[in-house]
Amino acid sequence: MYDYDLLVVGSANADLVIGVERRPDAGETVLGSDLSVHPGGKGANQAVAAARLGARTALLARVGDDAYGRLLLDSQRAAGVDTVGVLVGGAPTGIALITVDPSGDNSIVVSPGANGRLRPEDVRAAGSLFHASRVVSTQLEIPLETVVELVRCLAPDSRFVLNPSPPRPLPGEILAACDPLIVNEHEAKVILGDSCVSDDPADWARLLLAKGPRSVVVTLGAEGALVAATDGVERVPSVKVDAVDTTGAGDAFTAALAWRLGLGEPLPVAAAYAARVGAAAVTRAGAQESYPTPEEVAAL
Protein backbone atom coordinates (compact mmCIF):
# COMPACT_ATOMS: atom_id res chain seq x y z
CA MET A 1 0.00 0.00 0.00
CA TYR A 2 2.84 2.40 0.83
CA ASP A 3 5.68 3.23 -1.58
CA TYR A 4 8.02 4.17 1.27
CA ASP A 5 8.64 2.63 4.69
CA LEU A 6 10.05 5.95 5.86
CA LEU A 7 9.93 9.57 4.75
CA VAL A 8 12.57 11.70 6.47
CA VAL A 9 12.00 15.44 6.47
CA GLY A 10 14.98 17.37 7.70
CA SER A 11 18.42 18.83 7.40
CA ALA A 12 21.33 17.98 5.15
CA ASN A 13 24.73 19.38 6.15
CA ALA A 14 28.33 19.10 5.08
CA ASP A 15 30.13 17.98 8.24
CA LEU A 16 33.55 19.66 8.62
CA VAL A 17 35.26 17.52 11.25
CA ILE A 18 38.45 18.10 13.27
CA GLY A 19 39.79 15.71 15.89
CA VAL A 20 40.98 17.47 19.07
CA GLU A 21 42.75 16.40 22.25
CA ARG A 22 40.41 18.76 24.08
CA ARG A 23 38.05 21.58 23.13
CA PRO A 24 39.30 25.18 23.50
CA ASP A 25 37.99 27.40 26.29
CA ALA A 26 36.69 30.87 25.40
CA GLY A 27 39.56 32.96 24.02
CA GLU A 28 41.83 29.91 23.61
CA THR A 29 43.28 28.33 20.44
CA VAL A 30 44.10 24.63 20.17
CA LEU A 31 45.59 22.64 17.29
CA GLY A 32 43.59 19.74 15.89
CA SER A 33 43.83 17.03 13.23
CA ASP A 34 43.57 17.50 9.48
CA LEU A 35 40.08 18.54 8.38
CA SER A 36 37.78 15.86 6.98
CA VAL A 37 34.52 16.54 5.14
CA HIS A 38 31.59 14.12 5.40
CA PRO A 39 27.95 14.12 4.28
CA GLY A 40 25.81 14.77 7.37
CA GLY A 41 22.82 16.58 8.80
CA LYS A 42 20.30 14.89 11.06
CA GLY A 43 17.72 14.38 8.30
CA ALA A 44 20.14 13.17 5.65
CA ASN A 45 21.79 10.91 8.22
CA GLN A 46 18.48 9.29 9.16
CA ALA A 47 17.61 8.66 5.53
CA VAL A 48 20.95 6.97 4.79
CA ALA A 49 20.80 4.90 7.99
CA ALA A 50 17.31 3.59 7.17
CA ALA A 51 18.10 2.85 3.54
CA ARG A 52 21.28 0.99 4.46
CA LEU A 53 19.20 -1.23 6.75
CA GLY A 54 16.88 -2.03 3.85
CA ALA A 55 14.05 0.47 4.37
CA ARG A 56 12.41 2.01 1.31
CA THR A 57 13.28 5.60 2.16
CA ALA A 58 12.65 9.08 0.76
CA LEU A 59 14.15 12.39 1.90
CA LEU A 60 12.49 15.81 1.84
CA ALA A 61 15.22 18.41 2.38
CA ARG A 62 16.88 21.44 0.81
CA VAL A 63 20.55 21.76 -0.19
CA GLY A 64 22.45 24.53 -1.93
CA ASP A 65 23.36 24.51 -5.61
CA ASP A 66 27.01 23.89 -4.71
CA ALA A 67 29.64 21.19 -4.22
CA TYR A 68 28.43 20.28 -0.72
CA GLY A 69 24.88 19.90 -2.03
CA ARG A 70 26.17 17.48 -4.68
CA LEU A 71 28.15 15.57 -2.02
CA LEU A 72 24.94 15.11 -0.03
CA LEU A 73 22.84 14.06 -3.02
CA ASP A 74 25.52 11.55 -4.07
CA SER A 75 25.57 10.02 -0.60
CA GLN A 76 21.77 9.68 -0.52
CA ARG A 77 21.64 8.06 -3.94
CA ALA A 78 24.53 5.69 -3.16
CA ALA A 79 22.58 4.46 -0.14
CA GLY A 80 19.43 3.96 -2.24
CA VAL A 81 17.41 6.88 -0.85
CA ASP A 82 14.78 8.37 -3.21
CA THR A 83 15.85 12.02 -3.59
CA VAL A 84 12.78 13.18 -5.52
CA GLY A 85 11.96 15.40 -2.54
CA VAL A 86 15.38 17.04 -2.24
CA LEU A 87 15.12 20.69 -3.31
CA VAL A 88 18.18 22.55 -4.59
CA GLY A 89 18.98 26.24 -4.22
CA GLY A 90 17.88 29.25 -2.23
CA ALA A 91 20.97 29.38 0.01
CA PRO A 92 24.29 27.56 0.43
CA THR A 93 24.20 24.01 1.77
CA GLY A 94 24.07 23.78 5.58
CA ILE A 95 27.41 23.34 7.35
CA ALA A 96 28.21 21.60 10.63
CA LEU A 97 31.50 22.41 12.37
CA ILE A 98 32.33 19.36 14.46
CA THR A 99 35.09 18.57 16.93
CA VAL A 100 35.61 14.98 18.07
CA ASP A 101 37.66 14.23 21.19
CA PRO A 102 39.66 11.06 21.98
CA SER A 103 36.68 9.50 23.78
CA GLY A 104 34.61 9.81 20.57
CA ASP A 105 32.35 12.54 21.96
CA ASN A 106 31.53 15.45 19.66
CA SER A 107 30.54 19.11 19.81
CA ILE A 108 28.64 20.59 16.87
CA VAL A 109 27.79 24.08 15.61
CA VAL A 110 25.39 24.16 12.65
CA SER A 111 24.97 26.96 10.13
CA PRO A 112 21.56 26.01 8.69
CA GLY A 113 21.94 27.61 5.25
CA ALA A 114 19.48 25.95 2.85
CA ASN A 115 17.91 23.95 5.71
CA GLY A 116 16.48 27.21 7.00
CA ARG A 117 14.79 27.72 3.63
CA LEU A 118 12.82 24.45 3.78
CA ARG A 119 9.48 26.20 4.12
CA PRO A 120 5.91 25.10 4.94
CA GLU A 121 4.99 25.54 1.26
CA ASP A 122 7.72 22.99 0.36
CA VAL A 123 6.00 20.54 2.70
CA ARG A 124 2.58 21.23 1.15
CA ALA A 125 4.02 20.75 -2.34
CA ALA A 126 5.32 17.31 -1.30
CA GLY A 127 1.88 16.05 -0.25
CA SER A 128 2.13 12.93 -2.42
CA LEU A 129 5.26 11.82 -0.50
CA PHE A 130 3.37 12.05 2.78
CA HIS A 131 0.53 9.92 1.47
CA ALA A 132 3.01 7.35 0.15
CA SER A 133 4.89 6.93 3.46
CA ARG A 134 4.10 4.62 6.36
CA VAL A 135 6.26 6.56 8.85
CA VAL A 136 7.43 10.20 8.78
CA SER A 137 10.42 11.29 10.84
CA THR A 138 11.90 14.72 11.46
CA GLN A 139 14.21 16.77 13.72
CA LEU A 140 14.62 20.48 14.49
CA GLU A 141 17.40 21.67 12.18
CA ILE A 142 14.63 23.01 9.92
CA PRO A 143 12.21 25.86 10.80
CA LEU A 144 9.64 25.04 13.48
CA GLU A 145 6.78 26.32 11.29
CA THR A 146 7.84 23.73 8.70
CA VAL A 147 7.53 20.99 11.33
CA VAL A 148 4.06 22.30 12.28
CA GLU A 149 2.99 22.13 8.63
CA LEU A 150 4.43 18.63 8.33
CA VAL A 151 2.28 17.46 11.26
CA ARG A 152 -0.77 18.90 9.50
CA CYS A 153 0.13 17.07 6.26
CA LEU A 154 0.48 13.59 7.82
CA ALA A 155 -1.70 10.92 6.25
CA PRO A 156 -4.37 9.75 8.75
CA ASP A 157 -2.87 6.28 9.29
CA SER A 158 0.83 7.19 9.14
CA ARG A 159 3.10 7.37 12.19
CA PHE A 160 5.14 10.42 13.21
CA VAL A 161 8.53 10.21 14.91
CA LEU A 162 10.34 13.30 16.22
CA ASN A 163 13.84 13.78 17.58
CA PRO A 164 13.71 17.41 18.78
CA SER A 165 17.37 18.18 18.12
CA PRO A 166 18.58 20.82 18.64
CA PRO A 167 15.91 21.13 21.34
CA ARG A 168 13.48 23.96 21.95
CA PRO A 169 10.07 24.21 23.63
CA LEU A 170 7.45 22.59 21.41
CA PRO A 171 3.80 23.50 20.75
CA GLY A 172 1.17 21.00 21.90
CA GLU A 173 0.16 20.30 18.30
CA ILE A 174 3.59 18.82 17.55
CA LEU A 175 3.91 16.95 20.85
CA ALA A 176 0.49 15.33 20.43
CA ALA A 177 1.50 13.87 17.05
CA CYS A 178 4.70 12.18 18.28
CA ASP A 179 4.71 8.38 18.45
CA PRO A 180 7.38 8.43 19.79
CA LEU A 181 9.14 11.61 20.87
CA ILE A 182 12.83 10.58 21.06
CA VAL A 183 15.11 12.60 23.35
CA ASN A 184 18.50 12.33 24.99
CA GLU A 185 19.14 13.72 28.47
CA HIS A 186 19.84 17.28 27.30
CA GLU A 187 16.83 17.37 24.99
CA ALA A 188 14.54 15.98 27.71
CA LYS A 189 15.54 18.78 30.08
CA VAL A 190 14.96 21.52 27.50
CA ILE A 191 11.55 20.16 26.44
CA LEU A 192 10.47 19.74 30.07
CA GLY A 193 11.73 23.18 31.11
CA ASP A 194 10.50 24.10 34.60
CA SER A 195 8.62 20.83 34.92
CA CYS A 196 11.93 18.90 35.02
CA VAL A 197 11.81 18.35 38.79
CA SER A 198 13.74 15.07 39.02
CA ASP A 199 17.14 13.57 38.20
CA ASP A 200 15.59 10.22 37.29
CA PRO A 201 15.27 9.59 33.51
CA ALA A 202 12.22 7.39 34.18
CA ASP A 203 10.52 10.45 35.69
CA TRP A 204 11.50 12.50 32.61
CA ALA A 205 9.87 9.87 30.42
CA ARG A 206 6.64 10.01 32.46
CA LEU A 207 6.63 13.83 32.56
CA LEU A 208 7.23 14.04 28.80
CA LEU A 209 4.42 11.57 28.16
CA ALA A 210 2.11 13.78 30.20
CA LYS A 211 2.83 16.61 27.74
CA GLY A 212 0.94 14.78 25.00
CA PRO A 213 3.09 12.36 22.94
CA ARG A 214 1.62 8.89 22.41
CA SER A 215 4.98 7.40 23.37
CA VAL A 216 8.42 8.59 24.50
CA VAL A 217 11.96 7.22 24.20
CA VAL A 218 14.76 8.60 26.38
CA THR A 219 18.18 7.57 25.06
CA LEU A 220 20.89 7.12 27.67
CA GLY A 221 24.03 6.51 25.56
CA ALA A 222 25.97 3.49 26.82
CA GLU A 223 23.18 2.86 29.36
CA GLY A 224 20.66 2.02 26.63
CA ALA A 225 17.24 3.68 26.53
CA LEU A 226 13.90 4.00 28.31
CA VAL A 227 10.66 3.52 26.40
CA ALA A 228 7.44 4.90 27.82
CA ALA A 229 3.82 4.59 26.78
CA THR A 230 0.48 4.40 28.59
CA ASP A 231 1.35 0.90 29.86
CA GLY A 232 4.48 2.07 31.70
CA VAL A 233 8.22 2.65 31.39
CA GLU A 234 10.61 -0.10 30.26
CA ARG A 235 14.42 -0.14 30.05
CA VAL A 236 16.10 -1.29 26.85
CA PRO A 237 19.73 -2.42 27.20
CA SER A 238 22.61 -1.14 25.10
CA VAL A 239 25.35 -3.17 23.43
CA LYS A 240 28.87 -2.53 24.74
CA VAL A 241 31.27 -1.33 22.03
CA ASP A 242 34.46 0.73 21.86
CA ALA A 243 33.38 4.21 20.74
CA VAL A 244 35.43 5.85 17.98
CA ASP A 245 33.03 8.66 17.01
CA THR A 246 29.49 9.17 18.34
CA THR A 247 28.55 11.65 15.56
CA GLY A 248 25.21 10.67 14.02
CA ALA A 249 24.65 7.64 16.25
CA GLY A 250 21.42 9.16 17.56
CA ASP A 251 20.23 9.68 13.98
CA ALA A 252 20.91 6.01 13.20
CA PHE A 253 19.00 5.00 16.35
CA THR A 254 16.00 7.14 15.39
CA ALA A 255 15.94 5.92 11.78
CA ALA A 256 16.12 2.26 12.81
CA LEU A 257 13.43 2.74 15.43
CA ALA A 258 11.09 4.55 13.01
CA TRP A 259 11.54 1.86 10.36
CA ARG A 260 10.99 -1.08 12.72
CA LEU A 261 7.90 0.56 14.25
CA GLY A 262 6.51 0.88 10.74
CA LEU A 263 7.04 -2.86 10.27
CA GLY A 264 4.72 -3.37 13.25
CA GLU A 265 7.23 -4.16 16.00
CA PRO A 266 6.29 -3.18 19.58
CA LEU A 267 8.17 -0.12 20.87
CA PRO A 268 10.56 -2.01 23.23
CA VAL A 269 11.48 -4.51 20.50
CA ALA A 270 12.07 -1.79 17.92
CA ALA A 271 14.12 0.22 20.45
CA ALA A 272 16.31 -2.81 21.25
CA TYR A 273 17.10 -3.21 17.54
CA ALA A 274 17.72 0.55 17.21
CA ALA A 275 20.15 0.42 20.16
CA ARG A 276 22.20 -2.18 18.26
CA VAL A 277 22.23 0.03 15.17
CA GLY A 278 23.31 3.05 17.23
CA ALA A 279 26.05 1.01 18.90
CA ALA A 280 27.38 -0.15 15.54
CA ALA A 281 27.43 3.44 14.33
CA VAL A 282 29.80 4.65 17.06
CA THR A 283 32.48 2.10 16.12
CA ARG A 284 33.44 3.98 12.93
CA ALA A 285 34.28 7.60 12.14
CA GLY A 286 31.79 10.01 10.59
CA ALA A 287 28.00 9.86 10.47
CA GLN A 288 26.67 8.34 7.24
CA GLU A 289 29.87 6.34 6.56
CA SER A 290 29.51 4.69 9.96
CA TYR A 291 26.03 3.24 9.46
CA PRO A 292 25.71 -0.55 9.48
CA THR A 293 24.11 -3.04 7.13
CA PRO A 294 21.63 -5.56 8.60
CA GLU A 295 24.40 -8.17 8.55
CA GLU A 296 26.68 -5.92 10.61
CA VAL A 297 23.89 -5.32 13.13
CA ALA A 298 23.29 -9.06 13.42
CA ALA A 299 27.01 -9.70 13.97
CA LEU A 300 27.28 -7.21 16.85
If one asks whether residue 282 binds ligand RIB (CB under 6 A), the answer comes out as no
Residue 200 annotated in active site? no
Shortest spacing between CB 38 and ligand RIB, in angstroms: 7
What is the C-alpha separation between 155 and 37, in angstroms, rounded?
A: 37
Tell me the window of 34-42, 75-83, 273-281, 291-299 that interacts with ligand RIB (CB under 6 A).
Answer: 34-42
Tell me the window of 7-15, 125-133, 176-184, 261-269 that interacts with ligand RIB (CB under 6 A).
Answer: 7-15
Nearest to 248 by CA among 275, 213, 287: 287
239 burial type by CB count under 10 A (0-12 exposed, 13-18 middle, 19+ buried): middle
Nearer to ligand RIB, 41 or 180 (CB): 41
If one asks whether residue 56 binds ligand RIB (CB under 6 A), the answer comes out as no
According to CB under 6 A, which one of 141, 179, 187, 245 is a site residue for ligand RIB?
A: 141
If one asks whether residue 219 binds ligand RIB (CB under 6 A), the answer comes out as no
Tell me the window of 11-19, 143-151, 170-178, 262-270 that interacts with ligand RIB (CB under 6 A).
Answer: 11-19
Nearest to 184 by CA among 137, 250, 237: 250
If one asks whether residue 277 binds ligand RIB (CB under 6 A), the answer comes out as no
What is the C-alpha separation between 50 and 251, in angstroms, rounded?
A: 10
Per DSSP bridges, beta strands 13-19 and 94-100 are parallel
What is the C-alpha separation between 204 and 195, in angstroms, rounded?
A: 9
If one asks whether residue 247 binds ligand RIB (CB under 6 A), the answer comes out as yes
Nearer to ligand RIB, 117 or 134 (CB): 117
Tell me the window of 16-24, 51-59, 246-254, 271-279 that interacts with ligand RIB (CB under 6 A).
Answer: 246-254
Reduced to 3 states, what is the DSSP secondary structure of residue 170? Answer: coil
If one asks whether residue 45 binds ligand RIB (CB under 6 A), the answer comes out as yes
What is the C-alpha separation between 94 and 143, in angstroms, rounded?
A: 13
If one asks whether residue 287 binds ligand RIB (CB under 6 A), the answer comes out as yes
According to CB under 6 A, which one of 41, 64, 113, 167 is a site residue for ligand RIB?
A: 41
If one asks whether residue 13 binds ligand RIB (CB under 6 A), the answer comes out as yes
What is the C-alpha separation between 12 and 46, in angstroms, rounded?
A: 10
Nearest to 139 by CA among 45, 228, 225, 202: 45
What is the C-alpha separation between 248 and 43, in angstroms, rounded?
A: 10
Residues in contact with ligand RIB, total (CB under 6 A)?
Answer: 16
According to CB under 6 A, which one of 112, 113, 180, 248 is a site residue for ligand RIB?
A: 248
Residues 62/93, Cβ–Cβ less than 8 Å: no
Shortest spacing between CB 232 and ligand RIB, in angstroms: 29
If one asks whether residue 236 binds ligand RIB (CB under 6 A), the answer comes out as no
Residues 137/158, Cβ–Cβ less than 8 Å: no
What is the C-alpha separation between 114 and 175, in angstroms, rounded?
A: 25
Taking CB under 6 A as the criterion, which residues in 89-108 touch ligand RIB? 96, 108
What is the C-alpha separation between 256 and 295, in angstroms, rounded?
A: 14
Nearer to ligand RIB, 45 or 76 (CB): 45
Please tell me which residue in 82, 122, 245, 251 is annotated as part of the active site. Answer: 251
Q: Give the residue numbers annotated as catalytic, written as ranges.
A: 251
Binding positions for ligand RIB, rule: CB under 6 A: 11, 13, 15, 40-42, 45, 96, 108, 110, 141, 247-248, 250-251, 287
